[in-house]
Amino acid sequence: MIGKLNHVAIAVPDLEAAADLYRNTLGATVSEAVDQPDHGVTTVFIELPNTKIELLHPLGENSPIAGFLAKNPAGGMHHVCYEVDDITAAAEKLKADGLRILGDGNPKIGAHGKPVLFLHPKDLCGTLVELEEV
C-alpha cells in the first residue's frame, strides 16, 4: 500500500536558523517558508535527491507543534510521510485493520496541495505517520 518516503518532518524552535543550517552549512536547496494555517504550522522544505526534509515551526498559539516543542525544546523528528496511490482506499484498509486516523478521519489538503491523513503513533511503533496521496 505505501509507496516511497515523501518526507521526514522535523519540528524546530527557530525556523530561520534551521533553514540557514541546511542551506549554508549542509549545502541543500531550501524553499521559502510557507504558512499552513489549516495545520497550524509554517513549513520549509529541504530538497534532497531521494526525498525531502520538512522543517515545522508553530503558527499560532494552538499549533500542535507548539506542544511538541514544549516537550522537546531543542526540536526533533515529528513524523514521517509515505506516499499512497489512493488515500481513501488506504484509510478504509487501515481502519479495517484497527489503526486510528487522527482528527475526523477525513483527508485534509496538506502542504503539497494533496490529500493527507495522519495515523496515531501508538498504532505504528511510536511514530506519527502521514500518508499523502500522489
Amino acid identity of 46? I
Considering the chain, what percentage of its residues have pLDDT values greater than 70?
100
Amino acid identity of 90? A
Mean pLDDT for 70-95 is 97
What's the CATH number of domain 5-133, 3.10.180.10, 3.20.20.70, 3.40.30.10, 3.40.50.720?
A: 3.10.180.10
- Stretch (H or E) spanning 22: none
Considering the chain, what percentage of its residues have pLDDT values greater than 90?
96
Q: What is the pLDDT of residue 133?
A: 98
53 Rama class: left (phi>0) / alpha (psi -120 to 50) / beta: beta
What does R_g of the chain's alpha carbons equal in angstroms?
Answer: 15
**Global pTM?**
0.94
Residues belonging to the active site? 130
CB count in 10 Å sphere of residue 22: 20
For the cut 90, the answer to whether the pLDDT of residue 118 exceeds it is yes
Per-residue confidence at 61, pLDDT binned at 50, 70, 90? confident
